Amino acid sequence: MHRCLWSLLLLLALSPSARAQEKPPANLVTPTSGARLEFLDEVSYYEQRYLRLADAIPAEKYSWRPAEGTRTIGEVYMHIASANYAYARMLGTPLPASLDLKALMASSSDKGKVIPALKESFVHFRNAILAIKDSELDKEIKTSRGQMTIRGSFFLISGHFGEHLGQSIAYARSVGIVPPWTEERQRQEPEKQKP
């Protein structure tokens, strides 16, 4: 059922044109406190985890899938990129005029296209959060789970990030890749135990 809701969300976000790099608008100011700052910190955490893991996986593994009917490694990352655009739209920021979600998904087996697409989607999503005024956080919006406040949607989005980060970690481990942050911790542990 969850997958059907995402498909509907992505269908609503489709645009017929090609993707281009987006620059942050000059008038957006990062909040210094409050829910948007806390959510931006959460988004940054997931962004760095996704990007580090995507970079660690060899290009030839991007078309690997654990079983028939499941997403490939690259499709999971492009799903996140597409969802970032869909969530930005849900929060009131239109899709970039040059975005083509079908082309985005079609390039999911190309690591050289996936990583930049993921980065661009996070820039766009971050700008959507920055465009929200604190006074709008209690505004009701339509989401994949029905009506909720913008602030409430932050929990929905965080859950989505966590779900697919776990999936990405399981996929990486299935193809012999240890997440970079785990590898770093493992290297540091023996150093801490030395007298």
Overall number of domains in the chain: 1
pLDDT at 29: 84
pLDDT for 194 beyond 70: no
107 in a structural domain: yes
Report whether 50 contacts 116 (CB < 8 A): no
Q: Which range marks the domain in which residue 53 is found?
A: 32-183
Residue 8 backbone dihedrals phi, psi, to 5 degrees: -65, -45
pTM: 0.83
As a whole number of angstroms, the longest Cα–Cα distance in the chain is: 62
How many angstroms separate the CA atoms of 84 and 161, rounded?
10
Cα-based distances in Å from 34 to 9, 135, 139: 28, 11, 16
Which CATH number is 168's domain given?
1.20.120.450
18 in a structural domain: no
20 in a structural domain: no
pLDDT digit string (tens) for 111-157?
A: 999 999 999 999 999 999 999 999 999 999 999 999 999 999 999 99
156 in a structural domain: yes
CB environment 1-33: b (16+ within 10 A), e (fewer) = eeeeeeeebbeebebeeebeeeeeeeeeeebee
pLDDT digit string (tens) for 166-183?
A: 999 999 999 999 999 999
pLDDT digit string (tens) for 53-82?
A: 999 999 999 999 999 999 999 999 999 999
What percent of the chain is modeled with pLDDT above 70? Answer: 84
